[in-house]
A = this chain, B = another copy of it.
């Protein structure tokens, strides 16, 4: 039976982990951006792991080794900060083909360390192996003060749904690269995680938080599933950069679709009580209100030109 027949990778994870216990010390296991473990008296430890595969996550024609290294670190940092945490220690595993050169690896490590230094991450170990094509895996450990931990499950009925920065830029860049059209591709090749300092400011006010890995639609659906609630998203308020709008116009596509279903923007989606909006704005203002949390019965939908459209899910490797 193919994995697509049982519903893809998320169903596979549900299937194999059913009935397994997580052990004491574990505050949150499978099902959030990071696992959360008891750590010191007033902090939790956060752990995340992300794999990047040649041909699936990156093409060597498009990415410099520097960009691959940088992106590998940024996507993992984004998982840590999306829980309100600060990244600290990284472990890298690499599967390298016979054709790998010292120059490639030097450039890759420069990118990895460039991002590590930005976010205060120390690389502490790893594993170097050999195979048919490049596969990189990074495991990142971080920590979060207990009172700042934000899960997908914290959203409350009536909360505003907000997103930092702008969305869809990664998909816009990817589409240009796929079609061989010159244009603005940096959002795809060099995505940047929000910093721990920014995320901690948001976490002070947020109820639930997640980063945009698989698209806004997918992330809001995760929040609703874990928080047992519904949501209404406002199509017209989805923040899009000028670059993203220009690329979409050039390609004759809708940039909102890039934001909703594209992914890899690594912005933060969070919910907060409406009354906390002014408080957050004083500390951090680079965000947009894009919807509202509703009761579960209301479902999860997108409001466009007065019409209620169901939210499709985001990217799935096995669908």
Q: Which residues of A contact B (CB under 8 A)?
A: 1-3, 5-6, 9, 12-13, 15-17, 20-23, 25-26, 29-30, 34-35, 37, 40, 47-57, 88-89, 91-96, 100-103, 105-106, 109, 113, 122-133, 135, 137, 139, 141, 317-318
Contacts and interface: CB of A to CB of B under 8 A. Distances in A.
Stoichiometry, as copies per complex, reads: 2
A129 B1 contact: no
A126 B32 CA distance: 10
Contacts of A93: 49-51, 93, 137
A35 B125 contact: yes
A34 to B, nearest CB: 7
A317 B51 contact: no
Given A2-B102, A125-B47, A88 B25 contact: yes
Contacts of A113: 20
A123 B17 contact: yes
Contacts of A91: 35, 47-49, 139
Contact of A102 (B6, B48, B103, B132): B6
A115 to B, nearest CB: 14
Nearest to A133: B132
A91 B129 CA distance: 18
Contacts of A105: 3, 12, 16
Contact of A13 (B106, B128, B135): B128
A141 B47 contact: yes
B124 A1 contact: no
18 contacts: A1-B101, A1-B102, A22-B122, A22-B124, A23-B89, A25-B88, A26-B122, A29-B122, A29-B125, A47-B125, A49-B127, A51-B129, A51-B135, A53-B95, A54-B131, A56-B129, A128-B318, A130-B317
Contact of A109 (B16, B21, B89, B126): B16
Nearest to A116: B20
A54 B52 CA distance: 16
Contact of A5 (B49, B102, B106, B141): B102
A17 B3 CA distance: 40
B22 A53 contact: no
Contacts of A35: 89, 91, 124-125
A139 B50 CA distance: 11
Nearest to A109: B16
Contacts of A37: 89, 124, 141
Nearest to A13: B128
A36 to B, nearest CB: 9
A294 B9 CA distance: 54
Nearest to A32: B125
